[in-house]
């Protein structure tokens, strides 16, 4: 409904958002300019209404903003050259195409007859001679097939089926003798090999393809979007050739105005004598403008002004730096302060308090490319002086490009020599970090000690290494009750009384030890194995399980029941075979009634444990918020 209203408002020329509003104002301002004159050397083009004027901007995710006559069809003319050049690159490869046409600017007009006689090829594919050399090698058995291929290429960029304006085609075919002369000169010097007429048949048609300004914006946006049409998702040009096309557009697309254009506007661009211009801001947007009156270089007067204003207003010159590499490290956290959700015994906690700083968790953010990856590497190198376990939390990283992946591989080797471990989180087989995953897989084979789903599991793994190295991970199957923190301070006689309340229990992997909501009858101490405490969170009929803690040998759980006699507040599930001791709450209460001192000691121990955990939680919050 809202969309409908927007469409109606938009059709009536009413801006429906800040960008539309900007475009409407820009349109109104530039519409005042009445310089230039329409191309007449192709008689059919002279018939156009010089007052037509449209602007369109398409984003790399397919949103198109328009103003004015953005749906009016006109002929694409020389703008087609950029796309056809990309097509032949894709068909033949860079090296082969360079034999047919160079990449040097001419400093001459689009229809110049100057040719590169040293290399025996036209200077570049943006001037007519070079475009004809490219048109010659469009593949196809017959002329029809070649025309169909040419139309197919342009249509993929536009995201709709395009066709030729037969009147404009015939008009140019009948009068385009200068192009004919150029073709014959090229034939004479062996720069082309087929008959000039057959090449012109394709070339004039390619110039006469009908587009709208909206089409042009989407075509430009496809180049901005690594060759993928943002609306249809179709590949218009393989990514590897996109920068070739943009480079040549940048140096040659505006002919003998290319230098000044590049200086003032700074966007790879291409114009056509039909009055169209495209400009590309890589990774961001494509611009299409249409206004027939041309300047002396053959560029739309209003089109040039529109691009210049958009560039200036939004600072879009391609050589303006948009990437700041300094913010790549979001936060650094240490294992003595930030802990995994694994609950630890007092001894384990002591190890982590003393040695936890050997674990450093680095939250990385943004995109990793050469500059930002280098920054990150340099920081990791500094951190590795102290830290032995370095966890790269890549949750906020949306890209790790080829250069960054290469640098990360170098880093892994460098750290391995220094006996440092590098761990990663959030690197999955699918999504933007998939190439990094593939590279790590190739390097390590088994990724179980390299990649972790999230930071908690990575932290837990590192903590385990520290604890094991401190050799306190002893077998607790035969622990004495007195060694348990909850029973600290009881005399041996008192412990004997406690023993009467104990029941040994075994749970298999995946088995529920405690279920949320159940009556709490036992409290447990784990002797062997680990278990996970999780909460089931229900929202809109959907249930999500959140892991809140994990427990290992020597740790107790379910003791809250002893305090409040209430119901279970969470699920506890065995991660593997778990051996534990269950203490009957009922029985312990009974003991408490007869031996109040025993109960006081137990409660005191529990309080101490709770307050320790609370203090630690405070420290952690301080570290995370700081």
Query: Cβ 190 to ligand GLN, closest distance in Å?
Result: 22
CA-based nearest residue to 267, from 229, 232, 318: 318
**One residue of 59, 66, 70, 78 binding ligand GLN per CB under 6 A:** 78
22 is catalytic: no
Tell me the three state secondary structure of residue 532.
strand
3-state helix, strand, coil in the chain (%, to 5): 45, 20, 35
Tell me if 106 contacts ligand GLN by CB under 6 A. Answer: no
**One residue of 54, 292, 298, 554 binding ligand GLN per CB under 6 A:** 298
Of the residues 27, 85, 255, 389, only one is catalytic, namely 255
Of the residues 27, 85, 157, 203, only one is catalytic, namely 203
Query: Cβ 179 to ligand GLN, closest distance in Å?
Result: 5
**One residue of 59, 77, 291, 550 binding ligand GLN per CB under 6 A:** 77
CA 345 to chain centre: 41
Residue 102 or 253: the one with the smaller Cβ distance to ligand GLN is: 253
**One residue of 272, 356, 552, 554 binding ligand GLN per CB under 6 A:** 272
Residues 107-146 as x/- pattern, contact with ligand GLN by CB under 6 A? ---xx----------------x------------------
Q: What is the DSSP letter of 432?
A: T
Q: Record the tokens describing residue 27, joined without a space.
A: 């349109």
Strand partners, 425: 393, 452
Query: Cβ 255 to ligand GLN, closest distance in Å?
Result: 8
Query: Cβ 83 to ligand GLN, closest distance in Å?
Result: 13
78 is catalytic: yes
**b/e sequence 465-490, b meaning 16+ C-beta within 10 Å:** bbbeeeeebeebeeeebeebbbbeeb
Of the residues 78, 80, 311, 372, only one is catalytic, namely 78
Q: Judge whether 9 and 20 are in contact, CB under 8 Å.
A: no
543: part of which helix (H) or strand (E)? strand 542-551
Q: Which residue has the tokens 């328009």?
A: 66
Pairwise CA distance, residues 364 & 501, whole Å: 51
Residue 110 or 257: the one with the smaller Cβ distance to ligand GLN is: 110
487-516: contacts with ligand GLN (CB under 6 A) = none
**One residue of 84, 218, 273, 359 binding ligand GLN per CB under 6 A:** 273
Query: Cβ 166 to ligand GLN, closest distance in Å?
Result: 15
Pairwise CA distance, residues 492 & 479, whole Å: 14
Residue 39 or 578: the one with the smaller Cβ distance to ligand GLN is: 39
Residue 207 or 380: the one with the smaller Cβ distance to ligand GLN is: 207
Residue 77 or 345: the one with the smaller Cβ distance to ligand GLN is: 77
392-451: contacts with ligand GLN (CB under 6 A) = none
- State the sign of the Cα–Cα–Cα–Cα dihedral 352, 355, 356, 358: negative
Query: Cβ 209 to ligand GLN, closest distance in Å?
Result: 11
Tell me the three state secondary structure of residue 29.
helix
Q: Record the tokens describing residue 289, joined without a space.
A: 């403008």
DSSP string, 372-412: HHHHHHHHHHHHTTT-SEEEEEEEEEEEE-HHHHHHHHHHH
Residue 179 or 225: the one with the smaller Cβ distance to ligand GLN is: 179
Tell me if 222 contacts ligand GLN by CB under 6 A. Answer: no
Residue 26 or 273: the one with the smaller Cβ distance to ligand GLN is: 273
Residue 135 or 343: the one with the smaller Cβ distance to ligand GLN is: 135
CA distances from 60 to 57, 63, 223, 226, 281 (A): 10, 8, 9, 9, 10
Pairwise CA distance, residues 199 & 176, whole Å: 13
Tell me if 23 contacts ligand GLN by CB under 6 A. Answer: no
Tell me if 553 contacts ligand GLN by CB under 6 A. Answer: no
Of the residues 273, 306, 328, 397, only one is catalytic, namely 273
Query: Cβ 104 to ligand GLN, closest distance in Å?
Result: 18
Pairwise CA distance, residues 351 & 481, whole Å: 22
65 is catalytic: no
255 is catalytic: yes
Query: Cβ 113 to ligand GLN, closest distance in Å?
Result: 12
H-assigned helices in 50-165:
79-92, 94-100, 128-136, 143-158
188-207: contacts with ligand GLN (CB under 6 A) = 207
165-184: contacts with ligand GLN (CB under 6 A) = 172, 179
Pairwise CA distance, residues 34 & 301, whole Å: 8
Query: Cβ 172 to ligand GLN, closest distance in Å?
Result: 6
Binding residue count for ligand GLN, defined by CB under 6 A: 11
Q: Judge whether 207 and 188 are in contact, CB under 8 Å.
A: no
Pairwise CA distance, residues 218 & 568, whole Å: 59
Residue 128 or 212: the one with the smaller Cβ distance to ligand GLN is: 128
CA distances from 440 to 410, 427, 434, 457, 562 (A): 12, 10, 10, 18, 48
Residue 101 or 391: the one with the smaller Cβ distance to ligand GLN is: 101
For 55, list phi and psi in degrees, rounded to 5. -130, 140
Query: Cβ 132 to ligand GLN, closest distance in Å?
Result: 9
Of the residues 60, 81, 372, 534, only one is catalytic, namely 81
Residue 208 or 526: the one with the smaller Cβ distance to ligand GLN is: 208
Task: Give the strand pairing for 389-400 and 421-425.
Answer: parallel
CA distances from 133 to 113, 121, 178, 186 (A): 13, 8, 15, 9
Query: Cβ 298 to ligand GLN, closest distance in Å?
Result: 5
- Which parts of this chain interact with ligand GLN (CB under 6 A)? 77-78, 110-111, 128, 172, 179, 207, 272-273, 298
Which are the catalytic amino acids? Answer: 78, 81, 203, 255, 273
């Amino acid at each position: 409904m809202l969309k409908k209203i927007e469409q109606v408002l938009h059709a009536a020329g009413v801006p429906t958002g800040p960008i539309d509003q900007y475009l409407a104002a820009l349109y109104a301002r530039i519409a005042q300019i009445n310089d230039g004159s329409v191309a007449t050397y192709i008689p059919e083009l002279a018939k156009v209404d010089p007052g037509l004027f449209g602007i369109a901007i398409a984003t790399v995710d397919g949103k198109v903003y328009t103003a004015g006559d953005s749906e009016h069809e006109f002929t694409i003319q020389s703008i087609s050259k950029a796309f056809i050049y990309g097509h032949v690159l894709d068909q033949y490869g860079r090296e082969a195409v360079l034999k047919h046409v160079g990449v040097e600017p001419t400093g001459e007009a689009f229809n110049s007859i100057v040719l590169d006689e040293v290399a025996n090829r036209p200077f570049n594919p943006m001037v007519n001679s070079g475009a004809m050399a490219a048109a010659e090698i469009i593949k196809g058995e017959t002329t029809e097939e070649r025309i169909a291929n040419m139309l197919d290429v342009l249509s993929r960029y536009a995201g709709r089926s395009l066709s030729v304006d037969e009147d404009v085609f015939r008009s140019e075919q009948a009068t385009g003798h200068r192009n004919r002369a150029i073709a014959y000169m090229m034939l004479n010097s062996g720069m082309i090999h087929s008959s000039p007429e057959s090449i012109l048949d394709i070339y004039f048609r390619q110039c006469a393809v009908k587009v709208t300004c909206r089409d042009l914006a989407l075509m430009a946006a496809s180049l901005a979007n690594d060759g993928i049409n943002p609306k249809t998702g179709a590949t218009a040009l393989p990514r590897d050739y996109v920068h070739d096309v943009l480079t040549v557009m940048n140096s040659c697309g505006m002919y003998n105005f290319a230098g000044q254009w590049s200086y003032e506007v700074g966007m790879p661009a291409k114009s056509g004598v039909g009055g169209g211009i495209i400009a590309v801001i890589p990774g961001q947007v494509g611009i299409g403008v249409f206004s027939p009156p041309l300047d002396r270089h053959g560029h739309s007067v209003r089109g040039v002004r529109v691009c210049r204003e958009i560039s200036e207003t939004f600072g879009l010159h391609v050589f303006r730096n948009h990437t700041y590499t300094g913010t790549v490290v979001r936060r650094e956290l240490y294992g003595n302060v930030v802990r995994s959700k694994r609950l630890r015994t007092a001894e384990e906690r002591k190890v982590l308090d003393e040695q936890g700083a050997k674990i450093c968790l680095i939250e990385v953010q943004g995109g990793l490319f050469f500059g930002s990856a280098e920054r990150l590497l340099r920081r990791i190198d500094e951190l590795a002086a102290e830290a032995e376990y370095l966890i790269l939390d890549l949750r906020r990283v949306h890209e790790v490009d080829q250069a960054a992946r290469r640098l990360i591989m170098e880093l892994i080797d460098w750290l391995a020599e220094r006996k440092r471990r590098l761990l990663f989180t959030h690197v999955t087989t699918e999504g933007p970090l998939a190439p990094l995953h593939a590279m790590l897989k190739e390097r390590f084979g088994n990724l179980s000690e390299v990649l972790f789903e999230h930071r908690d599991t990575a932290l837990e793994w590192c903590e385990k290494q520290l604890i094991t190295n401190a050799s306190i991970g002893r077998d607790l199957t035969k622990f004495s009750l007195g060694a348990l923190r909850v029973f600290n301070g009881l005399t041996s006689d008192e412990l004997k009384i406690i023993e009467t309340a104990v029941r040994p229990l075994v749970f298999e992997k995946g088995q529920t030890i405690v279920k949320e909501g159940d009556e709490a009858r036992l409290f447990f101490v784990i002797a062997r194995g680990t278990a996970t405490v999780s909460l089931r969170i229900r929202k809109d009929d959907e249930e999500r399980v959140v892991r809140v803690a994990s427990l290992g040998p020597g740790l107790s759980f379910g003791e809250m029941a002893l305090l409040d006699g209430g119901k279970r507040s969470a699920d506890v599930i065995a991660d593997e075979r778990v051996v534990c001791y269950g203490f009957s709450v009922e029985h312990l209460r009974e003991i408490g009634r007869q031996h109040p001192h025993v109960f006081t000691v137990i409660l005191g121990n529990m309080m101490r444990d709770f307050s320790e955990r609370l203090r630690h939680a405070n420290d952690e919050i301080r570290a995370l918020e700081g």
